[in-house]
């Protein structure tokens, strides 16, 4: 293999694992993928992970990717991290975590989020200020929870980071974030790209504890430190990019952004279900996260906490294979097993209704798919509206949904989304879009190339096209009616502190 080949590493540090993609920087060919798991702990709304385990997993995954790619370490020219959004990492004076990180799906901070939402002009003012209304997922609410429940840890913090920030700092020794991931904190102003002093004052967070904000995820922030180079088995000359959040990296991997497609919707089916589109519009919808993209455009996003993992839990309870499913018929399932984010129902639990003696267990599982898909697609309509588009307009409905994530590889998920949306689907052939997007950021940092244009040239967003089928309005209306009737009870669920 020629030693002149330039290789970049894209790291996807997600909730449950790290994946490191070794990618040919010229062609976008995925040469190898290294993996290592994470541990998530917690019950009753708590979800935590040890950031030291993230670093260990990153080292393991990167070493495996370089080894399996069969390339010399000297051919690696750049690395970037895309991380799970919103997590709160608190660092001590030694730069190491003071406690496990509070993850995005930790809902204990729901009371703090609700209290914050009433301040600084109330729920309508927050989206205009920071892009998003404070909900339990947002980092500002998690910091407030820490101040109230663990004041010693908050007082001892010498640094406050997001997951990807922390890993980038371990790589390059520089405290830096990017506009995309920063926009998921609720302490960053998406209008002018700066931290909001009023929010920081409200939550008692010293701005000196926060990383600098790089202009974009492909910004070169340095090269590997001696310690990182030794741990990874790579030369110190490897360029480190600022990196970004996982959703922003997926958008890059799909070629969405200033240098590529705009206003083309994406549905990601993973542990959570997310919907987003790149746009130049600046949305201000309280039900959405008005994120910045990593390239200067916007990335309005709806996120549901309960997607593939929740449906798989129903399959386990029913003793069925996840593909052993039929449409729900009269059964309706709202699979809100971990509360919910869009809609904002942090205390909700799962709901099953419409059962009869002759209900097929496979139909109950089918109803779980339908409930999860309905929630995701309902959020999609709001994302399209936030982009200034009419979700019902024929030219908008004809745009294919880009279906990504683990669920996009399953027939039951694909069939359910297709049936409930009535839209054409595009199933990108690339399976690791977050890691590939991070690799494009790494290549951009190493060469100065626009990462969205680079990913477009790589063709990572292309794949199988499925034509639309008739929309299942009967199921849609049935689920919508149950959600509407049940929402008051879901809102009044048991409070968590």
106 included as an active-site residue: no
Three-state DSSP state, 292:
strand
The secondary element (H helix, E strand) that includes residue 456 is helix 451-458
* Count helices and strands in the chain by DSSP H and E runs: 17, 24
**Token pair for residue 367?**
């109803």
Question: Distances in Å between the alpha carbon of 464 and those of 275, 294, 401, 467?
Answer: 19, 27, 12, 10
Find out whether 428 and 414 touch, Cβ atoms under 8 Å.
no
Catalytic residue (choose from 24, 178, 246, 415)? 246
Q: Reduce the secondary structure of the chain to three states and give it as a string.
A: CCCCCCEEEEEEECCCEEEEEEEECCCCCEEEEEEEECCCECCCCCCEECHHHHHHHHHHHHHHHHHHHCCCHHHEEEEEEEECCCCEEEECCCCCECCCEECCCCCCCHHHHHHHHCCCCCCCHHHHHHCECCCCCCHHHHHHHHHHHCHHHHHHCCEEECHHHHHHHHHHCCCEECHHHHCCCCCEECCCCEECHHHHHHCCCCHHHCCEECCCCCCEEEECCHHHHHHHCCCCCCEEECCEEHHHHHHHHCCECCCCECCCCEEEECCCEEEECCECCCCCCCCCEEEECCCCCEEEEEEECCCHHHHHHHHHHHCCCCCCCCCCCCCEEECCECEECCCCECCCCCEEECCCCCCCHHHHHHHHHHHHHHHHHHHHHHHHHHCCCCCCCHHHHCCCEEEECHHHHCHHHHHHHHHHHCCCEEEECCCCHHHHHHHHHHHHHHHCCCHHHHHHHHCCCCEEEECCCCCCHHHHHHHHHHHHHHHHHHHCCCCCC
d(CA 133, CA 463): 35
Q: Are strands 351-353 and 332-334 parallel, antiparallel or unpaired?
A: antiparallel
Find out whether 21 and 65 touch, Cβ atoms under 8 Å.
yes
CA-wise closest residue to 465 among 416, 429, 413, 411: 429
Residues designated as active site: 246
């Amino acid at each position: 293999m020629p030693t002149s080949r330039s290789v970049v590493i894209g790291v996807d540090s997600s909730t449950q694992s790290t994946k490191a993609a070794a990618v040919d920087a010229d062609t976008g060919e995925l040469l190898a993928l290294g993996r290592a798991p994470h541990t998530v702990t917690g019950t009753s709304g708590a979800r935590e992970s040890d950031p030291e385990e993230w670093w260990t997993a990153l080292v393991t995954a990167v070493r495996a990717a370089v080894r399996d790619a069969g390339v010399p370490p000297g051919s690696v020219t750049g690395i970037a991290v895309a991380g799970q959004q919103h997590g709160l990492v608190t660092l001590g004076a030694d730069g190491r975590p003071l406690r496990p990180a509070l993850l995005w799906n930790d809902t204990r901070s729901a009371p703090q989020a609700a209290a914050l939402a009433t301040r600084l002009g109330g729920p309508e003012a927050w989206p205009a200020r920071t892009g998003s209304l404070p909900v339990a997922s947002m980092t500002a609410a998690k910091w407030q929870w820490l101040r109230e429940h663990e004041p010693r840890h908050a007082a001892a913090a010498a640094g406050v980071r997001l997951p990807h920030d922390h890993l980038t700092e371990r790589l390059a020794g520089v405290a830096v974030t990017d506009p995309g991931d920063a926009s998921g904190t609720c302490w960053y102003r998406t209008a002018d790209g700066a931290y909001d002093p009023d929010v920081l004052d409200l939550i008692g967070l010293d701005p000196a504890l926060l990383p600098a904000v790089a202009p974009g995820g492909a910004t070169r922030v340095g090269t590997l430190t001696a310690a990182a180079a030794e741990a990874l088995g790579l030369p110190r000359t490897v360029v480190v990019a600022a990196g970004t959040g996982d959703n922003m990296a997926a958008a890059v991997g799909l070629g969405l952004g200033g240098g590529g497609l705009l206003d083309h919707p994406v549905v990601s089916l993973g542990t959570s279900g997310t919907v987003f589109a790149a746009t130049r519009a600046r949305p201000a919808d309280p039900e959405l996260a008005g994120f910045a993209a990593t390239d200067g455009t916007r990335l309005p996003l709806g996120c549901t906490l309960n997607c593939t993992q929740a449906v798989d839990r129903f399959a386990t309870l029913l003793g069925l294979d996840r593909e052993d499913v039929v449409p729900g018929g009269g059964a309706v399932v709202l699979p809100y097993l971990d509360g919910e984010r869009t809609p904002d129902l942090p205390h909700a639990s799962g709901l099953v209704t419409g059962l009869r003696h002759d209900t097929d267990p496979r139909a109950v599982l089918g109803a779980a798919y339908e409930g999860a898909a309905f929630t995701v697609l309902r959020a999609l309509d709001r994302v399209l509206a936030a982009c200034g588009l009419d979700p019902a307009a024929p030219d908008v409905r004809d745009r294919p949904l880009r279906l990504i994530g683990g669920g996009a590889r399953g027939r039951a998920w694909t069939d359910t989304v297709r049936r409930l949306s009535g839209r054409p689907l595009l199933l990108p052939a690339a399976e690791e879009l977050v890691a590939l997007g991070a690799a494009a950021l790494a290549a951009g940092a190493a060469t100065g190339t626009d990462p969205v244009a680079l990913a477009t040239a790589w063709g990572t967003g292309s794949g199988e096209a499925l034509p639309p089928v008739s929309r299942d309005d009967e199921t849609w209306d049935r689920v919508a009616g149950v959600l509407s009737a049940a929402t008051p009870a879901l809102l009044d669920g048991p409070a968590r502190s």
